[in-house]
Structure 1
């Protein structure tokens, strides 16, 4: 049987952002006898490559230069992107000209167009996949799918219209709705990270098929830690330097408000509750590892309990440190769709998860569903001084955990099934 060619537009595939590279783990578990994969991504800021893809899978990664729509966008590039969403031939017309500063999606489409035309001429099947954010990847996938009439999967790892990223305002909201409608128009399947987002797509696009494709953890990331003597040694050195002997260690990894500004309020709530609780508690130490905002660092200076704040560390070292924690701290804000990427690595690390959140959301639902942790809402935390103490106490018996649905192996099987249904039926 001829293989299926996947043209994956994943702008942050080579970045260190766990949520942004969600297809990276999925693709490695696809059947190499069935799939050939082409990944179009942005050139990384520092040297990086998709080294964790097994050699048996036929994967070609195209790291391409160029700006994407976002905080660094000029007005002209944003207008070009908007025009490309509505004038479908425009990106491929522009791809004929070798401009030194052209947008990323133009370069990505130039490569994809050549390869897709070649594979279709050989009688092979092709699928276009775009994953947001940024919006550039969705527009590139929609353009390729429309040009050749191939199957298109549009993936939203964040909200574009429902709890959107980016600046607010009625004009921006109206433009987001128009662009979203255009990229969804050519899609055969819409996927997104959580139930609330998918429910919103189903309500607004009842004629389209929408499914939950959650973020997840890659079992091989944790299997590789067993014989990683370097990261083990580094983790031991950090523990010896920062964590008091015999302390119950609560760890938080990654960003807080830089990913979701409302989560910084949950941090403040946690610090206030710890200040009110720590006097009656045994030896507890809280360790924050990751990029924090100046205001978050200022909040941590109010801590009356044992605390350490570390700069971001290499990912393997972060995973080793997670495995040393007695509790893993998750801070989420007021976004109902929020299932921050770190929760999935927390699941695989094994420690009980303590979530402080402004609302019940996708992350708190995952904790309840898997039995991997407990949630305290900020309003309850502020009103009950003993609530945090109860959750920090060692459990009488360990809860039963079922995290299989969030394994990349399991999810790759789902993705394979969906693509097969679209392409082979």
Structure 2
């Protein structure tokens, strides 16, 4: 077995979508001839958006998980706001929905002092542990995954210090991420962040990313080889999953975070149209996960609030159960620059659930292509009220007739199993490890 170091900030007991990719790679890499060692942060020092201790059961017992300390500016930020640390953690440290002088100061400090992100305080501790582990038993490859993109600094330093081939995994963009413009960067900080991104991309032996559009974006910044290995689903996650009690109505379900940039205004208009026409009397909206107050306000404005059932973040297995129970699943792509390349990990689990998907976003984007390829559903433009209304009406009519429509074709979906995708990663690792063997130092 060939040793590989996986450096990831998000790992069980962390919950949320950022955990699944490396967790599943770690699960299936031993079957591909690689012995992973996971380097991550201690839970007590981490800033996790959610906790899901149940995921720890998926880590193979033979895989060492090394946890280190970290210095976390979120703790300072929380004290500044007079809140618990978990309440101060937001996507990208943007603190969406929070106002006031202290919040503005916290965002300014994050944007200009903590580059490339607020988890950079973990890097010194992680690097010290990585060097120790490599001296004890050398690694043939290091894989780092971001965001947080500061994690890539560990791979960069290991590459320079020991010559260990390094694969940088980009789950999301760096300076092109959707919320980047919300942070109050000074010009020098913005330039420095772009320079750090370019240094990482150029220094890596290979870059792996999740979608063709993101690969094309990164390819405009570097000549380093790039391979697309999308997110996927793990079939065992869908076996014997308890399905929650149904409401008795037609359930249009969204699982995960629904932010202001994801607010599907055209859907609310379409539903209002259908209700006014008497076509959707048993409509229910089920949201599993965080829903931003802005979205709830828009729902109320269309008179839909009374049809909503909200469930806060649940463990992964329960989330899968809600997917399988849905009559129609909602996928809402952020309405931001670069939306064509947004392919959330949730999409693949929607595909695996066997339930049909109503998508809203760029009709020529990567998510739309996956829905077409797998037969899981259809994606409509942000403004296509008529198309969305027709889709909902069609699925509602099938449900009312006792003939709920099916989702993805299982054969087409098989290309996106985590085991198959890990074999693709193993191919990259073999090529990278063979090109430049590691040297001890």
Band the TM-score falls in, shorter-chain normalisation: 0.7 to 0.9
Contact 1:196 1:337 in 2 (8 A): yes
Deviation of 1:204 after TM superposition, in Å, equals 2.5
* Uncovered stretches (5+) of structure 1, i.e. residues with no partner: 83-100
CA RMSD of aligned residues (A): 3.0
Separation in 1, partners of 2:161, 2:323: 46
Q: 2:63 — aligned with what?
A: 58
- Indicate the residue corresponding to 1:250 in structure 2: 252
Q: Compare relative contact order (CA 8 Å, sep 6+) and give the higher one, 1 or 2.
A: 2
Question: Residues 24 and 396 from structure 1, CA distance in 2 versus in 1: closer, same or farther, beyond 3 angstroms?
Answer: closer
Q: Which residue of 2 aligns with 1:214?
A: 230
Partner of 2:274: 277
CA deviation after TM superposition for structure 1 residue 386, in Å: 4.0
Deviation at 1:298, TM superposition (A): 1.8
For this pair of structures, how many residues does the alignment match?
381
Q: What is aligned with 1:129?
A: 143
Residues 1:156 and 1:393: Cα distance change in structure 2 (over 3 Å): farther
Deviation at 1:54, TM superposition (A): 2.6
Partner of residue 179, structure 1: 196
User: Which residue is equivalent to 1:95?
Assistant: none
Q: Report the alpha carbon displacement of residue 314 of structure 1 after superposing the two structures with TM.
A: 2.5
On the 8 A contact 1:356/1:375 being kept in 2, the answer is: yes
Alignment partners' CA distance in 1, 2:434 and 2:361: 43
Change (3 A) 1:110 1:81: farther
Alignment of 1:58-207 (within 5 A): 58-62=63-67, 64-67=69-72, 71=93, 75=109, 79=113, 103-120=121-138, 125-163=139-177, 165-166=179-180, 167=182, 171=187, 172-206=189-223
Corresponding residue for residue 292 of structure 1: 291
Structure 1 segment 333-344 matched on structure 2, within 5 A: 333-334=334-335, 335-344=339-348
Which residue matches 2:355? 351
Is 1:413 paired with 2:423? yes
The CA deviation at 1:81 is 5.2
Partner deviation per Cα, 1:44-71 (whole Å, 9 max, x = no partner): 366847321233x433242533327952
More helix by share: 2
Post-superposition Cα deviations, 1:360-385, rounded to whole Å, max 9, x if no partner, equal 42222211121111112122226885
Q: Distance in 2 between matches of 1:62 and 1:340?
A: 27
CA pair 81-424 structure 1, distance change in 2 beyond 3 A: same
Deviations 1:79-138 (A, max 9, x none): 5757xxxxxxxxxxxxxxxxxx99211111111101112223xxxx42111111112201
Q: TM-score, normalised by structure 2?
A: 0.78
Q: Which runs of 5 or more residues in structure 2 are unaligned?
A: 45-50, 75-91, 94-105, 436-441
Q: 1:398 to 1:134 in 2, by over 3 A?
A: closer
| Separation in 1, partners of 2:318, 2:388 | 36
What is the 5 A alignment of 1:227-246?
Answer: 231-232=242-243, 235-236=244-245, 239=246, 243=247, 245=248
Higher mean C-alpha displacement, 64-73 vs 150-159: 64-73
